């Protein structure tokens, strides 16, 4: 883990907090210079299932926000994306993981103008409309691109950058972890320490 002047230990994380997750590069492996167009091409990143089990016990809401430009480019359809997400959520459900909602942007920015393609904040505003209790100041966004970090910062969220090499972390990112699993295990260990400290203070 690498931080940019902040410390996750200082965060009063509880069920009031919301976790916004990018998909490609965080949950599933990216296909370089292409898109995950169907379920047969979808591959979970190692440790993601375990990570989401941990994170589900920490955050009140988990929301996936994902750019899917392949639709706008005509390389896949929205039905293809829905099929991918239906199967992904089925795997999560079989592992006891609930995802509150998935929001996606289907547009090709070279041909269309929209407010939903990250770093624009349209997807987050949709989430806020559907879940008014979301507080962006009590939210963390996790992604593997600069646009994910800009998306989070525009809303006042804390930002977690996922990259195998944290020496190249964008300045706008608050923290860097090599994987969602590493991030989840770090938070889990913090929770264990806090519980121990609480028990010790009661003795």
For 101-126, write each residue's pLDDT tens digit: 999 999 999 999 999 999 999 999 99
Distance (Å, rounded) from C-alpha 102 to C-alpha 156?
21
Catalytic residues, by residue number, are 22, 24
Best CA proximity match to 102, nearest among 84, 114, 119, 120? 84
Beta pairing, strands 175-177 & 2-3: antiparallel
Is the C-alpha dihedral spanning 27, 29, 31, 33 positive or negative? positive
Banded model confidence at residue 201, pLDDT cuts 50, 70, 90:
low
Residue 4 has pLDDT above 90, yes or no: no
Distance CA(26)–CA(175), nearest Å, equals 15
**The pLDDT value given to residue 159:** 97
Is the pLDDT at 5 greater than 60? The verdict is no
- pLDDT tens sequence across 139-198: 999 999 999 999 999 999 999 999 999 988 999 999 999 999 999 999 999 888 777 765
- Pull the structure tokens for residue 176: 């860097």
Of 17-26, 60-69, 126-135, 194-203, the least confident = 194-203
For residue 12, pLDDT over 90 is answered with no
**Encoding tokens for residue 100?**
């509150």
Distance of CA 194 to the CA centre of its chain: 24
Give the pLDDT band of residue 202 (cuts 50, 70, 90). low
The model's pLDDT over 14-23, given as tens digits with 9 standing for 90+, comes to 999 999 999 9
Q: What percent of the chain has pLDDT above 70?
A: 92
Q: How far apart are CA 70 and CA 72, in angstroms?
A: 6
Contact 180, 45 (CB under 8 A): yes
Report the distance separating Cα 198 and Cα 65, nearest Å. 35
Residues 190, 14 contacting (CB under 8 angstroms): no
What pLDDT is recorded for position 9? 77
Euclidean distance between the first and final Cα of the chain, in Å?
33
Question: What integer is the mean pLDDT of 98-102?
Answer: 98
User: Please, what is the Cα angle at 46 between 40 and 49, to 5 degrees?
Assistant: 85
């Amino acid at each position: 883990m690498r931080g940019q002047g902040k410390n996750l230990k200082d965060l009063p994380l509880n069920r009031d907090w919301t976790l916004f997750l990018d998909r490609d590069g965080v949950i599933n492996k990216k296909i370089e210079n292409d898109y995950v167009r169907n379920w047969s091409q979808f591959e979970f990143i190692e440790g993601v299932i375990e990570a989401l089990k941990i994170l589900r016990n920490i955050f009140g809401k988990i929301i996936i926000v994902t750019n899917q430009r392949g639709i706008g480019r005509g390389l896949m359809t929205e039905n293809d994306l829905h099929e991918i997400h239906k199967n992904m959520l089925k795997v999560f459900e079989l592992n006891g993981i609930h995802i509150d909602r998935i929001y996606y942007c289907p547009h090709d920015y070279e041909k269309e103008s929209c407010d939903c393609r990250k770093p624009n904040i349209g997807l987050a505003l949709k989430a806020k409309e559907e879940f008014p209790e979301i507080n962006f100041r009590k939210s963390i966004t996790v992604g593997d691109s600069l646009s994910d970090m800009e998306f989070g910062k525009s809303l006042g969220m804390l930002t977690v950058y996922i990259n195998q090499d944290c020496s190249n972390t964008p300045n706008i990112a608050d923290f860097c972890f090599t994987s969602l699993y590493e991030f989840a295990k770090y938070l889990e260990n913090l929770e264990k320490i806090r519980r121990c400290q609480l028990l010790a203070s009661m003795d």
